[in-house]
Chain A
C-alpha cells in the first residue's frame, strides 16, 4: 500500500522557496522575472491582483515576460482582465485558462482570443463569488499583489486602496501558497499594518507606483437634464416612498445625479435623516455635497477614489479609517455589506428585455459584471427587518396567503435610448448570442428580471412588484420604454390600466415637475463646485481639472 502524503502543498511551497533561496525576501526589481520563474510551476493557479481600481501592474508585466518554455499552462484566477499584459499571457501561451469577474477595457481582445482558441474561460463570476471560490476550489498557488508600502519585515501598508488584498492573501497564505507583493516604497515604520509580514513571502519595490484608475469620478458638468428628471423621480417616487436608508449606488451619471440632488431636491422634500443615511459605496466625489449637508451618516467602501484621500481622512465619522487617518477599504466585506445590509441597489444597464432581465454584455465584448449581480439581487439569506424591506415584500405578495418575507429593492435606471439612438429595451438580449459564442449554458445576465423591482426611465417608474403576471410585467416594461420599438409596441389600454393602479407612475403622477428638471437643481455643477463643497479637501486628478 502506498503511503498517503498529507502535506504535498507544504512540500510544494518548500520546493518553490528553495529554488528562490538566492534571491532573498526583499527582491530587487531587476530579478523579478527570475523569481517568478523560480516559484511558479506549470499549470499553477495564479492570481494577479487588480481591480477596476489598483493594479499589480509591475508583477503583471513580469509574468508576461517569463519564458513560456518554463512557465506555461497557468490557470489565472483574478478579479479583472484590465491590462494588456493580462491578455498577453494567453497570447504567449504562459496561461491557458481563466476564472475572472470583469474585463471592461480588454473585453474586445478577450472575445478575439476566445475565437482563436487561445484562452479557455471557465466562468465569469461576481467579485464575492470568485473570492468565495478562492476558499473552496480555486485557491491560488501564487498570488501577485499590490500595496502602498512595506517595512523591512515585510508587513504591508495598503493605504486607502486595500480592496481585494486581504481576501487574496488569506486564501493563498493559509493554503501554503506563495505571496509576492509589489510596493511603491519601503518605509522604516508603516502608518498601519494592513497585511502582516507572516503572510507575505516576497516584497519588490516597483520602479513606478502601481496604476490606480479614478473610476468613480463623474464630472457633474456632464449630467443631463433627463438624468436630473430621472433622479427626481427616484428620490420622490422610490427613496421617499419606501424610506430607503441603507443603499448602494452603481457607477454612472444617472446615480451621480441622485447624489447631487439629495442636498437640494431631497432636502426640500424633507428627506434629510429619513433616506440615504448609510451607504456601501466607494468615496464618490459626487457624494460630497450630501455629506456636507448632513444627509450621510456612514459610508463603507469597496476601494478608494483618487483625490478623495484628504477629504475622507477629515470625515472619520462618515468613512472607515485607520489609526493613520486614511481610508480602510475592503471589497469582500463591502460586497457582503451591499448584499445583506442594504435595502436598495440602483444602477444602469445597456439592455433590458421584456421580462426585465438586464445585461451589459454585447456581441463583440466579454465584459463580466463585477459586483452588480450581488448588489442587484434579493438577499435570500437575509433575516433582519427594515421598513423598506418589509414594504417591498408586502407589495410583492399583494395580500396573497404566503409566508411574509421582505424584499430588497433593485432598481434599474435607464434612458430609453442610449447615445446614437441605441434602444435600451430589446426583445432579446445580446447575451443569448454571446452565450453561444462562448459555449456557455446560460446567457450572461447581469440582473435577472425576477430580482428587479423597479425600472425607471424618463417616461416614469414601472413597479414590477405590483405586476400580477408575466403579461402585466411585459406591459409595465413597455409602458416606460418610450419610443423604442418595445415602447411603441405597447397595448395602450393595458398600460393606462396599469397607470391607474400605480404600477406605472409618470412624473406628473408623483408630483415631479418636468419644468424643474434643470441642471440648476444639482448641488454641484462642476468638479470645481465639488472641490469648493469639500472646503478644498477634494483634490481631483488633473484630467478632471479644467480651471
Chain B
C-alpha cells in the first residue's frame, strides 16, 4: 500500500451535508469518501493505493479535479485498487455531484 497526500486550492463548496461515499473497493475500481473540513478554499486528498509509482498521475488527476469543481473545504479519501485515472476522475465527479444534488437541506 502506498499513501499519497495532496492539499490543493479549490473554489469553496457552499453546501454542507453528511459525508458522501461512492464507488466500491474492487479490482480496477476505487472508493471515494467526501467529508467537510475546516480548510476553506482548500481540498485535502488522501489516496491509499495498491499500485506503486503513479504519484505524478495522481497529482495531475486531483489537480484537474480541484480546478474544475467546487471542492474547497472538503476532505477526500480514496481507497484505490488499481483504478485507471478515468475511473478515479469519474468517481470524484460523481461524489461531488451527489454532494451538490442531494444536500441535507
- Measuring CB to CB, which residues of chain A are less than 8 angstroms from any residue of chain B? 224-226, 229, 415-417, 419, 421, 457-459, 482-483, 488, 513-515, 517
Q: Do the beta carbons of B84 and A421 come within 8 Å of each other? A: yes
Q: What is the chain A residue whose CB lies nearest that of B100?
A: A515
Q: What is the chain B residue whose CB lies nearest that of A458?
A: B86
- For B51, B86, B93, B101, the residue with the greatest tally of chain A CB atoms inside 10 Å of its CB is B86
Residues of chain B within 8 A (CB-CB) of A226 are: 84, 86-87, 90
Residues of chain B within 8 A (CB-CB) of A415 are: 84, 86
Shortest CB–CB separation between residue B66 and chain A, in angstroms? Answer: 15
Q: Do the beta carbons of B84 and A515 come within 8 Å of each other? A: no
| Partner of B28 from A229, A419, A482 at Cβ < 8 Å | A419
User: Looking at chain B, what size class is its interface with the partner chain?
Assistant: 10 to 19
Q: Do the beta carbons of A458 and B89 come within 8 Å of each other? A: yes
- B85 at the A interface (CB under 8 A): yes
- B20 at the A interface (CB under 8 A): no
Tell me the complex Cα distance, A459–B60, Å. Answer: 14
Residues of chain A within 8 A (CB-CB) of B97 are: 513-515
Q: Do the beta carbons of B61 and A483 come within 8 Å of each other? A: yes
Residues of chain A within 8 A (CB-CB) of B87 are: 224-226
By Cβ-Cβ distance, the 3 closest A-B pairs, closest first, are A458-B86, A515-B97, A483-B85
Q: What is the chain B residue whose CB lies nearest that of A230?
A: B86
- B98 at the A interface (CB under 8 A): yes
Residues of chain A within 8 A (CB-CB) of B89 are: 458
- B46 at the A interface (CB under 8 A): no
Q: Do the beta carbons of A417 and B86 come within 8 Å of each other? A: yes
Q: Do the beta carbons of A417 and B85 come within 8 Å of each other? A: yes
Q: Mark B64-105, 1 if CB is under 8 A from A, else 0.
A: 000000000000000000001111011001100110010000
- For B28, B84, B98, the residue with the greatest tally of chain A CB atoms inside 10 Å of its CB is B84
Tell me the complex Cα distance, A416–B85, Å. Answer: 8
Tell me the complex Cα distance, A439–B28, Å. Answer: 38
Tell me the complex Cα distance, A245–B90, Å. Answer: 30
Q: What is the chain B residue whose CB lies nearest that of A515?
A: B97
Tell me the complex Cα distance, A52–B88, Å. Answer: 35
- B16 at the A interface (CB under 8 A): no
Shortest CB–CB separation between residue A179 and chain B, in angstroms? Answer: 48
| Partner of B94 from A224, A416, A421, A514 at Cβ < 8 Å | A514
Tell me the complex Cα distance, A513–B85, Å. Answer: 18
Q: Do the beta carbons of B60 and A488 come within 8 Å of each other? A: yes
Q: Do the beta carbons of B84 and A229 come within 8 Å of each other? A: no
Given contacts A225-B90, A415-B86, A416-B86, 15 further A-B contacts (CB under 8 A): A224-B28, A415-B84, A416-B84, A417-B85, A419-B28, A421-B51, A457-B86, A459-B86, A483-B57, A483-B60, A483-B85, A513-B97, A514-B94, A515-B94, A515-B98
With A483-B60, A488-B60 already in contact, the answer to whether A229 and B85 are too (CB < 8 A) is no
Residues of chain A within 8 A (CB-CB) of B94 are: 514-515
Instruction: Name 30 A/B residue pairs within 8 A (Cβ), A-sorted.
Output: A224-B87, A226-B87, A226-B90, A229-B90, A415-B84, A415-B86, A416-B84, A416-B85, A416-B86, A417-B84, A417-B85, A417-B86, A421-B51, A421-B84, A457-B86, A458-B86, A458-B90, A459-B86, A482-B85, A482-B86, A483-B57, A483-B61, A483-B85, A488-B60, A513-B97, A514-B90, A514-B93, A515-B94, A515-B97, A517-B90
Tell me the complex Cα distance, A225–B93, Å. Answer: 13
Residues of chain B within 8 A (CB-CB) of A513 are: 97
Residues of chain B within 8 A (CB-CB) of A421 are: 51, 54, 84
With A482-B86, A483-B85 already in contact, the answer to whether A515 and B51 are too (CB < 8 A) is no
Shortest CB–CB separation between residue A490 and chain B, in angstroms? Answer: 11
Shortest CB–CB separation between residue A162 and chain B, in angstroms? Answer: 39
